Amino acid sequence: MPARIEPCLALLKSKPPVGPQWTFEVKFDGYRLAVHKELRDVRILTRGGHDWTHRFPLIEAAALALPVATFILDGEAVVLDEQGRSDFNMLQRSLGGRGGKEVSRDAIFMAFDVLYFDGHDYTQTELSRRRNLLESLLPFETTGAIRLSEEVDADGEALFQAACDHGLEGIIAKDRNSIYRPGRLGDWLKIKCVQSESFMIVGYEYSNSARGGIGSLLLAARKGDGWIYVGSVGTGFKERDAIALRATLDKLKAKTPTVDYPTRRKDLVWVQPTLIAEIEYRAWTGDGKLRHASYKGLREHQDNAAVYELV
């Protein structure tokens, strides 16, 4: 039995794929985990290989109760809200917040693949057969700490729209003929329900290793006559744009920040609130910060760009 299997990761796409080889699932907003069971021993590993068994006692107990001696399940730890949607903030709170080390009594495991079963490695077996095996191990039910992620045979575009309409994170498309290959190779695709708004750039985090020296942009939304810090964005930059943006920001340096910022750090450069950035993001965190933010580009005042306003 392998000590660990490097996970297959979903490649981000803007639209669902078309074709009979694709099957779909709801995309969960949680922590990717692998549940290993070998006789009476259970290990729950994070995507990076850290052992978090002690942090998910309900999932551990459910794995021990399954009537199979050995298996490795791939899936996602989630906490569901009242509407049955996975909520990342609720999951983080159950674990003691970001960087916390508490035990979660609310998380469940949504299993979407089986990689090892009853002494046999199934990573070189096509997904359709792995899925049949998983369904025999986990008959579909809506209770318990280990549940089956439902596979949906539907039109991808219609399913994606329905997922967005219901406030879900998005959908996952999988090639039913693919074997289990580590990395983002395109066998699995993720199509996310993203939002896009304009935010004011109030500073940046300097980094020697980042493009243009910008590790991330510090963003603010308008509230009344002032600005409220709403988080940072460190992805989506093209090198040429980052270099030009850095040169512009350095001409707008300010001695003091225009927002309340939680910590004092020497690598932060504050600027006058002049440049407006278009930002894609998935959602808001519980403390009012952007989640999964990605930089799209600068907006001009002349194109009627309205900075996001907090109510």
Q: What is the CATH number of the domain that holds 254?
A: 2.40.50.140
CA distance 85 to 110: 12
pLDDT for residue 102:
86
Beta bridge partners of 309: 222
Say whether pLDDT at 161 is over 90. Answer: yes
Structural domains in the chain (count): 3
Alpha-carbon span 159 to 155, nearest angstrom: 6
Which of these, 103, 104, 33, lies nearest to 72 by C-alpha position? 33
- Dump pLDDT digits (tens) for 255-301: 999 999 877 788 899 999 999 998 989 889 889 999 989 998 887 66
Q: Tokens 């539907």 sit at which residue? A: 154
Q: What confidence score (pLDDT) does residue 98 get?
A: 45
Write down the pTM of the prediction: 0.72
What string of H, E and C letters represents the secondary structure of 273-310?
CCCEEEEEECEECCCCCEECCEEEEEECHHHCCCECEC
Which of 41, 30, 54 has the alpha carbon at shortest distance from 3?
41
Structural domain that includes position 161: 9-27+154-193
Structure confidence by residue, pLDDT tens digits, 94-131: 887 545 678 999 999 999 999 999 999 999 999 999 99
Instruction: Kindly state whether residues 189 and 203 are assigned to the same domain.
Output: no
Quick check: 226 and 271 in contact, CB under 8 A? no
Same domain (yes/no): 16, 161: yes
Residue 203 has pLDDT above 50, yes or no: yes
Q: Does 1 reside within a domain?
A: no
- The pLDDT of residue 100: 62
Question: Could you tell me if 82 and 127 lie in one domain?
Answer: yes
Active site (catalytic) residues: 27
* 135 lies in the same domain as 180: no
When the pLDDT of each residue in the chain is averaged and rounded to a whole number, the result is 91
Clarify whether residues 14 and 161 are in a common domain. yes
Give yes or no for residue 302 having a pLDDT over 80.
Answer: no
How far is the C-alpha of 217 from the C-alpha of 31, rounded, in Å? 26
309: in domain: no
The pLDDT assigned to 95 comes to 86
Is residue 36 located within the same domain as residue 58? yes
Rg (CA), the chain: 22
Instruction: Give dist(CA 33, CA 225) in Å, integer.
Output: 45
- Give pLDDT, residue 142: 67
What CATH number is attached to the domain comprising 158? 3.30.1490.70
**Band (180; pLDDT cuts 50, 70, 90):** very high
Grouping H, G, I as helix, E, B as strand and the rest as coil, residue 183 is strand
